[in-house]
Chains A and B, each alone.
Chain A
Amino acid sequence: MIFDINTATGHWPFRRVPNQTIPLLRCLLAERGIGGAAVANTHALFYKNCQDANLELAEAIADDAEFFTGVATLNPLYAAWERDLVTCTEELGLKALRLVPRYHDYGLDAPEAKAILAAATDLNLPVFIPARVVDVRQRHWMDTEQQVSVEEIGRFSLGVPGSRIVITESTVSVPELVNDDGTLKYPGLYFEISRMPSAYGQTIAGLLDAVGADRFLFGSGAPFKEILPSLLKLDTIDCAEDTRRRIAHENARTLLETNTCS
């Protein structure tokens, strides 16, 4: 069983991306042996009122609830996000919140950002933050060229004790995450593996040793990205099989189902 923590549906305006619809995305993932996925709506990057994108998402995955776990996207600078967050969790059944500060034009040091992280934490909701959506080196002239750094997200997490933040689409190194005495700099961070080297240098294995196996989650970036590279990364981690299972699906299930039990 593999659960993909990092997928998206909806139109991307800057490049033709295949398999954008929920039925096509499900086929794509299932053909590669993936049994479930967290999915966010790409439209939410661009709508001013991104709650409309969350409503679209909930409707799109309604018939695939056993496969897809919906991820809300909200902008803490926009009106009514507090009500929308409650609606997303209590009425739409979305199980995580995505923040995209570079697309919604705020910094993670803004008080509004801290407020929405605190609200999500109160609801026991994990928060996803992509370091980037696509490689900025190839960006469309209307797209952002700014990424979100691990350090920036880490500092953000420290501002709300108990918060759980999954960084997607990022590389990371042990010195970025671990103090000299071996303690974690940012205890609330989790990491999706699609951009981390695996076989060469055993980077993921080194991170597992330093940070802990419960912090890493399989993700592909589909349909923006090909899926097989991430599957190969998972396969080539030098680790015990039970650790691989945790990365493949158990950590994601734990992270996403915790809130449904609250």
Chain B
Amino acid sequence: MKPTDLHACTVIDIHNHVWAKDGELDRDRAMSLLKAADCLGIDTVCVSLPLMTESPTPEEFRQANDMVFEALEMSDTFRGFCFVNPGYAEESVAELERCIVRHRMVGVKLYHQYRICDPALRPVMDYAAELGVPVLMHAAKLRDSANVARQPRVSHAEHFLKAAHMFPNTTLIQAHIGGGGDWEWNLRVLEAMPASAKYFIDISGSVVDAGIIRKTVATLGADRVLFATDGIMEEGIGKLLEAGLSEEQLQHILSRNAERILF
């Protein structure tokens, strides 16, 4: 498959973002994202607005999700993921109800405020399972001291293995195998992911190491890998199409797997 062939396929980017500027949705940046998606043949872009502070308050994550609502009004290309801080369990569950039940967002986005296997996540994970929406968790196996210090509670593959046992009814998405960090280590750990686990991994991130997607698919199977860019667009498409996959494998990664868990 060539990049131009993507325009004839259904392509879902399951991990992307809109951002705030001066306390409001950065509409110019959102418009630029839409243009880039159109240029590259991406039909659906799932967006969230995660907050990277230590412990965002309910008011802060509600404001962030309001900006996602505004983005959803801009274009049908966007689908929303609801960001919450599970440290505020009751408020998070209420926010999921507001965003997903009432405003038709299609997933939950978590950042590194808590690890994916932290018991504090129980109310959010159980409610996501009840609603039948996936939980996309920021992830990396970081090896450099600066980022390890900056993200002390970032999740990696071992945490997802635990979470798959703790929350067997919740669909888990491990973010960006190419998001920086030791992706080979992650894949070696994920060899032990049970076939029964409701587990997926997305391919986004800036890392385009030779063989990264081929190895990811070889480890987990094409039916557990999701196309995504996390805003790093040419890398997402380029590394997927370089992986030497069959048309059927590509179709699964580009859209069928996402359609199975999103809609």
Interface residues of A in 183-237 (CB under 8 A from B): 195, 197-202, 221-233, 235-236
What does DSSP make chain A's interface, helix, strand, loop or mixed?
loop
Q: How far is the CA of A203 from the CA of B141 in the complex (A)?
A: 29
* B163 sits at the interface (CB 8 A): no
Assembled-state Cα–Cα distance A195/B143 (Å): 20
B39 CB–A CB distance under 8 Å: yes
**Judging by beta carbons under 8 Å apart, are A229 and B143 in contact?**
no
Which chain A positions have C-beta within 8 A of B33? 200
Contact indicator B180/A223 (Cβ below 8 Å): no
Q: Does B194 contact A (CB under 8 A)?
A: no
- Which of B142, B181, B239 is in CB contact (< 8 Å) with A226? B239
Instruction: From known contacts A137-B181, A225-B209, infer whether A201 and B32 are also in contact, taking CB-CB under 8 Å.
Output: yes
Query: Which B residues are CB-close (under 8 A) to A230?
Result: 234, 238
Closest to B213 in A: A226
User: How many Å from the CB of B89 to the closest CB on chain A?
Assistant: 31
Contact A145 B144 (CB under 8 A): yes
Q: How far is the CA of A137 from the CA of B144 in the complex (A)?
A: 5
In the assembled complex, the Cα of A228 lies from the Cα of B180 at a distance in Å of 19
Q: Residues 188-219 of chain B: 1 if any A CB is under 8 Å from the residue's CB, otherwise 0? A: 00000000000000000011111110000000
Alpha-carbon distance between A137 and B29 when the two chains are bound, in angstroms? 27
Query: Could you tell me if B39 and A15 are in contact, using CB atoms closer than 8 angstroms?
Result: no
B143 engages A199 (CB within 8 Å)? no
User: Smallest distance from the beta carbon of A238 to chain B beta carbons, Å?
Assistant: 9
Which of these, B36, B210, B237, contacts A18 with CB under 8 Å? B210
Q: Are A199 and B40 interface neighbours, CB within 8 A?
A: yes
A16 to chain B, nearest CB (A): 8
Interface residue tally on B, bucketed by range: 35 or more
The verdict on B82 contacting chain A, using a C-beta distance below 8 Å, is no
Q: How far is the CB of A136 from chain B (nearest CB, A)?
A: 5
Whether A232 lies near B238 (C-beta < 8 A) is yes
Bitwise, A103-145 to B at CB < 8 A (1) or not (0) is 0000000000000000000000000000000111111110001
**Across the interface, which residues of A come within 8 angstroms of B235, CB to CB?**
229
Assess whether B40 is in contact with A137, with CB atoms less than 8 Å apart.
no
User: Is the CB of A163 closer than 8 A to any CB of chain B?
Assistant: no
B261 CB to closest chain A CB (Å) equals: 25
Contact B209 A136 (CB under 8 A): no
A19 at the interface (CB under 8 A from B): yes
**Interface bits B30-51 vs A (CB < 8 Å: 1, else 0):** 0011011001100000000000
- Nearest residue (CB) in A for B180 is A137
- Give the residue name and chain of the A residue nearest to B243 (CB): A226
- Name A223's closest neighbour in chain B (CB-CB): B210
- Chain A CB within 8 A of B232 CB: yes
A156 CB to nearest chain B CB (Å):
22
A27 at interface (Cβ–Cβ under 8 A)? no
A138 to B181: give the CA distance in the assembly, Å. 4
CA distance A198 to B231 in the complex (A): 11
Question: Pick the contact of B39 from A137, A141, A197, A236 — CB < 8 Å?
Answer: A236
B210 and A226 contact, CB distance less than 8 A = yes
Decide if B246 is an interface residue (CB 8 Å cutoff): no
Contacts A138-B207, A199-B40; A226 near B233 (Cβ below 8 A): no
Q: In this assembly, does B182 line the interface, its C-beta being within 8 Å of a C-beta of chain A? A: yes
A224 CB, min distance to chain B CBs, angstroms: 6
Is A231's CB under 8 angstroms from B238's CB? yes
Partner pick for B143 among A17, A137, A223, A227, CB 8 A cutoff: A137
- Nearest-neighbour CB distance to chain A for B32, whole angstroms, equals 5
Residues in B neighbouring A199, C-beta threshold 8 A: 35-36, 39-40, 233-234
* Cα A140 to Cα B207 with chains together (Å): 15
Question: Which residues on B are within 8 Å of A, measured CB to CB?
Answer: 3, 29, 32-33, 35-36, 39-40, 140-147, 180-184, 206-212, 231-235, 237-239, 241-242
* Additional pairs, 11, CB under 8 Å, beyond known A134-B209, A200-B231, A202-B32: A15-B184, A136-B143, A137-B142, A139-B144, A141-B143, A199-B40, A200-B32, A226-B239, A229-B208, A232-B40, A235-B3
Please provide the 7 A-B residue pairs with the shortest distance between their CB atoms, ordered closest to farther. A229-B238, A137-B180, A228-B238, A232-B234, A200-B36, A199-B36, A226-B242
Q: Jot down 19 A-B pairs with beta carbons below 8 A, ordered by A.
A: A19-B210, A137-B180, A138-B180, A138-B184, A138-B207, A139-B144, A141-B143, A145-B144, A200-B33, A201-B29, A221-B208, A225-B208, A226-B242, A227-B238, A228-B242, A229-B234, A232-B3, A232-B237, A233-B234
Residue numbers of A with Cβ under 8 A of B are 15-19, 134-141, 145, 195, 197-202, 221-233, 235-236
